[in-house]
Structures are given as structure tokens and as C-alpha cells.
Structure 1
Amino acid sequence: MHVMELFNLKGKTAIVTGGGRGLGEQIAEGLAEAGADIVLCSRKKEACEEVAQRLQEQRGVKTLALSCDITNAQDIQNVVNHTVQEFGKIDILVNNSGATWGAPALEMPLEAFQKVMNVNVTGTFLMSQKVGEVMVKQQSGKIINIASIAGLGGADPRFMDTVGYNASKGAVITFTKDLAVKWGSSNVQVNALAPGFFPTKMSRGLLEQGGDFILDRTPLGRFGSEKDLKGAALFLASAASDYVTGDVLVVDGGMHASC
């Protein structure tokens, strides 16, 4: 197989949660550029519809936009059912939807901590479980969990006081490794992306407060751009990574290496 064919997603179907904005939108765009048909889902269906229409018009792929709360098992089942009905299979799942909450650990409200864990951890589990039923049956699939460098260890509270978020992303990383072991025999590869700091709606306040601190500790001296996750996501979604599972690909400009 020619090396460029390894990255070709034509004929593949990808579900991207939280695909209506931010990192999810960027990843969905990259997968569509490689030829994949795209299913976008989030609680804000309108944003997914806008991105879906643009990808269909500009990239010539088939798209579907659906409403989904990833903490609701029935919503997830509806997404799976609609996807299989429309495309016949599910080749790629990108678990991107997430939540955060900033507060010192001694002041973190229990309900806030639980909300972050429920979305980031339980939601990732539920989505993987329901899509995994399809992938295990078809004996193929790629799951990409969006973790974070915040899940690799502790974060200096001067720029990131988000104990619930950090804990949840650490859990996503371990979940990724364990699921890779569980489903490897079914030819389902499960990996994670751990992005550094990208300007998004979720990270706006953090970057305004601690942006200089972050840049000072990032060897490449910049935040992530609108293209910096595309290649990494495509690698993990394509045949190029068929012998890679249980791994965490860090995309952070080198910040983790300097800590």
C-alpha cells in the first residue's frame, strides 16, 4: 500500500462529539478533507448543522448533524442508530465533548466536580460502549479520546486551577489504555490525543489569565493553531496507525517535555 493511501479515509464514517466548534470542528474538518463522511453531535445541534453543511459543500462528503447529551445513554443510542441507518457502519469515533470548571481545590463545589467527571469520563465511557458494540461486531474501528496535557500530571495553579478537569483527563488516559487492551482482539484501536493550549471558547478565560505563563514554558513559543490537531487526528483515525493502540499522542508545542 502506498504511504498516501494509508491516510485515505474515503468510504469511512466518523462520529465526532462536540464537533460544532473548537477542537472538534477542527478534527472533523481534517477527517472530511481526507474523505470521511462525518456525523457531528452535541447538545447544540445548530452549531453541528452549520459545520455539517459547510463540510458537505466544501469537501464533498456526506454529513449528519444530531443532538446528543453524551451523559444520556438514550441520546447516544439514537446517534448510533441514525449513523448505522445512514451509513451502514461506524469506522471512527472521536470523543471530543468536554467540560471544565475553574476553582481552587479547597473551594471546588461538589456538583461542579461531579459535572466535569460525568461529561469527560462517564460520557466518554458511554459513547465508547455504544459505538464499541458496532465496532466489535464488525471487527474493526478506531476510537480517539481527547484527553489533555492536564491529565499527564499536576498543573501550576497560577495558570490552571482546575482539579476536576485534570482528574477527569487523567482518567480518560487510563480508560484509553485499558479499553485498548480489552478490544485489541476485536481489531479496535483505542488511542488518545493530549492537546496543549489551543484558543477555544472553553480555554479563553484561562489563556487571558495565564497565557504568558504558558507561552514561557512552551518550547515552540505559541499556542496551537487551527491546523495543529488535523494531522495527529488523521494519523490515529487512518490505516497509518493500525499497529498503534493504547497510546497517547501529545500535541502541545513541547510544553510537557519542558516540565
Structure 2
Amino acid sequence: MANMFNLTGKVAVVTGGSSGLGADAALAYANAGADVAILARRVEKLNAVKADIEKATGRKVLAVRCDVTKEENVKSAIEAVLGEFGHIDILLNNAGIAVRGGVDSMSVEEWDRSFDTNVKGIFLVSKYVVPQMKERGYGKIVNIASVNAIVADKVDVFIRHSYNSSKSAVLGLTKGMAASYARYGITVNAIGPALFESEMTSSTLFKSEDFLNKYNALNPAGRPGNKGELNGTVLYLSSDASSYVQGQFIVVDGGGSIV
């Protein structure tokens, strides 16, 4: 059974790999035996993550600067990965942003920025990864959505209408890709994390004691997710253990969405 989760010989690409859940997932992939390419805009942070993973696991890590909202940038980044490793087995579309505000207070620019990163980014990276997966007859694509694709919140600090909308769009894109590419040996699934501490949340949500108290009171687990608690789901959907799982959305939220 353990061999089903073994990624030795596989190559994984992680967008948004310079911090938070992306960096955690990249380390998990390497610990499972994969070589990893981490993509993000901040080169210094990428290089630091690369060094940490290589030291901890001995696996090969490629750090590539990439803005997932820019097509030529994405095209060049994927070409660099293929030039280094020759193929891509796993794609974790993790890059994302959360812009606070409701439709009555957001600017058009803020709305567009959410969709450019959270939806267009997945489209562009997948556009340049999928063709070689189809040629090889194998691929595992995991899109990071959010529990907020299916659950909204009326607490002021958590109102993010563009985030709700863009992450819901990720689910639609996941289903469409899954249905189209299953015949090529490619599985496409999505994960919906709830609140995890990351660079994106530590300076906002985790600094609000009032919000955390409300979140913990409403969540059956009574707490946010801990570092590494998303990795099991990521590895499952990225490995042959999920070979017949297609177009699904797995929520990792401590039970928050069921109450």
C-alpha cells in the first residue's frame, strides 16, 4: 500500500511554491521521492525554499521565477522545467490570492486581480503542462481551491466576494478538465483548505483574536489547520493511490463546512 504513495521518479511542479502551503507541499513531494520545480514571483524566497528542501531530502529542486498571470512568463517557466527534467508528472496549481471586500466596496482592479491569479493562473499553467501529459498518457493535476468556494462568511474580516467567486470558478474548471482529459490518463481534482496559517493569513486573520475566537467556536475541530495537515490530501491526489478519482473536490476544514 505504501508504494501507491511513492513518487520516486516523478517530477512535480508547484506554483506559489515560495511560502506557505506551496512550500509545504513541495517538501512533501520531495519526501515522497519526487524531484520538484517550484514556481513563484519572488526569487529570493524560492531559492531559500529550494535550499531547505534539497538539504532535508537530497532531491533535486528547480526554482523558477514565474508570474502565473503572464502567459509568456508561464510558457518560459514550463519550458525551463521540461528542459531540466524532461517531463512533468504532477502539477499542483497552488498560486492564489485573497482580496478582502464585498462587491459594494471592491475596485474593478481588485476583482480582476483575484480572477487573474486564482483562475487565469490555473488556465495558463495547465495550458502549457497538459500537452506533454497527454503525449505521455499520464498526469496528476491538483488545483487548490478553498472551502470558501462553497461556504461564505458574514464576519466582516472574512468577507471576500472575489475570493468566493474565483475559487468557485476553480471547481468548474476542475470538472471540465477532468472530464476532458481522463481518456489521456490524466486525473484532475481540487482541494478546499479552510484556514491555515500562511504568509497570506498570518498578517490578517491570525492577528484578529475576535475572528479566531469566532472561527474556533464554529469549527468542530475547534482550531485552524496546522502546518502539514494538507499534505496527506495533496499526496493522495498526486499519487497512484487516487488513480480512479476524477473531478472531485476534497475539503480539508476540520468539519467547518458540515455545521
Instruction: Give the structure 1 partner of residue 68 of structure 2.
Output: 70
Q: Give the drift of 1:208.
A: 2.8
User: Which of 140, 144, 147 is the aligned partner of 1:146?
Assistant: 144
Instruction: Give the structure 2 partner of residue 81 of structure 1.
Output: 79
Maintained 8 Å contact 2:28/2:235: yes
User: Which of 154, 159, 162 is the aligned partner of 1:161?
Assistant: 159
Q: Any idea what the Cα deviations from partners look like across 1:5-24, whole Å, max 9, x if unmatched?
A: 00000110000001110010
Quick one: distance in 2 between partners of 1:207 and 1:57? 30
Instruction: Give the structure 2 partner of residue 125 of structure 1.
Output: 123
Maintained 8 Å contact 1:105/1:161: no
Is 1:175 the counterpart of 2:173? The answer is yes
Q: Give the drift of 1:155.
A: 2.2
User: Which of 45, 59, 83 is the aligned partner of 2:43?
Assistant: 45
Q: Give the drift of 1:156.
A: 2.0
In structure 2, what residue type is equivalent to 1:221? Answer: G
Q: Give the drift of 1:196.
A: 0.5
Q: Give the drift of 1:189.
A: 0.3
SS of equivalent residue, structure 2 residue 199? coil
Query: Runs of 5+ in structure 2 lacking a partner?
Result: none
Maintained 8 Å contact 1:18/1:41: yes
Q: Any idea what the Cα deviations from partners look like across 1:190-222, whole Å, max 9, x if unmatched?
A: 001100100112112123332111111111111
Compute the RMSD of aligned alpha carbons.
Answer: 1.0
Instruction: Give the structure 1 partner of residue 252 of structure 2.
Output: 251
TM-score by length of 1: 0.96
Instruction: Give the structure 2 partner of residue 195 of structure 1.
Output: 193
SS of equivalent residue, structure 1 residue 104? coil
Instruction: Give the structure 1 partner of residue 207 of structure 2.
Output: 208
Q: Any idea what the Cα deviations from partners look like across 1:105-150, whole Å, max 9, x if unmatched?
A: 2111111001111110111111111111111111110011000001
Percent pairwise identity: 36
Instruction: Give the structure 1 partner of residue 21 of structure 2.
Output: 23
The aligned length equals: 256
Maintained 8 Å contact 2:174/2:247: yes
SS of equivalent residue, structure 2 residue 143? strand
Q: Give the drift of 1:103.
A: 1.5
Quick one: distance in 1 between partners of 2:120 and 2:192? 18
In structure 2, what residue type is equivalent to 1:126? Answer: L
SS of equivalent residue, structure 1 residue 203? helix
Maintained 8 Å contact 2:151/2:257: no
User: Which of 50, 55, 58 is the aligned partner of 1:57?
Assistant: 55
Is 1:5 the counterpart of 2:6? The answer is no
Quick one: distance in 2 between partners of 1:159 and 1:215? 15
Quick one: distance in 1 between partners of 2:62 and 2:100? 33
Is 1:225 the counterpart of 2:220? The answer is no
Quick one: distance in 2 between partners of 1:145 and 1:11? 22
In structure 1, what residue type is equivalent to 2:78? Answer: V
